[in-house]
Amino acid sequence: MNEIISVALITLLAVISPGADFAMVTRNSYLYGRKTGLLTTLGIGLGVQVHVFYTMIGVGLLIATQPEIFTALKIVGALYLIYVGYQTFFSGEVMPESGDAPPNISNVSALKIGFLTNALNPKTTLFVLSTYTQIVQPSTSIAQQYGYGIFMSAAHWVWFGLVCVFFSTPHLRSKMLARQKPINQTIGGVLAALGGLLAFSSIAH
């Protein structure tokens, strides 16, 4: 029971802490609407399963004991964040001032953005690795360990689903779209800064 409570608490704290996932869901929800935002959150939840999978088959232990592998993963994740941040910062307006219907991105693209943002997120790597290596006991059944992984994905989807619903609310969304250039520059700057800090920490170590 203590193990279950510990996993639940750590998962909730990890999910609600601001980061790249939060910025990406905010961006897609207010720019493209609720459906796209929810698909992005679904992609994030699926991305969590990547970390759970490689941790449970033992690759996580290899990553934990071979710093160069983790460093490589951090650099790839950093480059992705910088790329998306750059695109967001310099993106044009999604909704023309003429009032035409705003363009959208495909369902697959929305899912892929969420998936890659989380699957390449070292923060999630550390969260999943530390949970399975420090809290989950070796005697815990495989079924229960998979259950923890499903809970982690579900927690991400529910929390970021709430974030999506908030930022895709019509009244708030219309206000944000009216000021989308500075908002995009802020979100893009945050994503690029996160990527830059991640790259710097990787090189410094």
Q: Tell whether the torsion through CA atoms of 45, 38, 123 and 134 is positive or negative.
A: negative
Q: Answer for the pair 73, 128: CB distance below 8 angstroms, yes or no.
A: no
pTM, 2 dp: 0.81
**Which amino acid, 137?**
Q
How many CB atoms sit inside 10 A of residue 194's CB? 21
What is residue 101's DSSP assignment?
Answer: P
Q: How many angstroms separate the first and last alpha carbons of the chain?
A: 38
- Residues of the chain with pLDDT > 90: what percent? 33
Q: Is residue 12 part of a domain?
A: no
Closest CA to 44 of 28, 32, 59: 28
pLDDT attached to residue 22: 92
**Most confident stretch, 102-106, 141-145, 151-155, 185-189:** 151-155
Tokens found for residue 35: 């459906």
**Most confident stretch, 13-17, 90-94, 99-103, 194-198:** 13-17
- In 66-137, where does DSSP find H-type helix? 67-89, 107-119, 122-130
- Count of domains for the chain: 1
Backbone angles phi, psi at 111, to 5 degrees: -65, -45
Structural domain span for residue 92:
2-6+19-204
Q: Tell whether the torsion through CA atoms of 155, 199, 83 and 181 is positive or negative.
A: positive
For the stretch 73-113, pLDDT in tens is 778 878 888 888 888 888 766 654 444 445 578 999 999 99
Q: Is residue 189 part of a domain?
A: yes
pLDDT attached to residue 169: 93
Average pLDDT (106-131) is: 90
Q: Answer for the pair 9, 148: CB distance below 8 angstroms, yes or no.
A: no
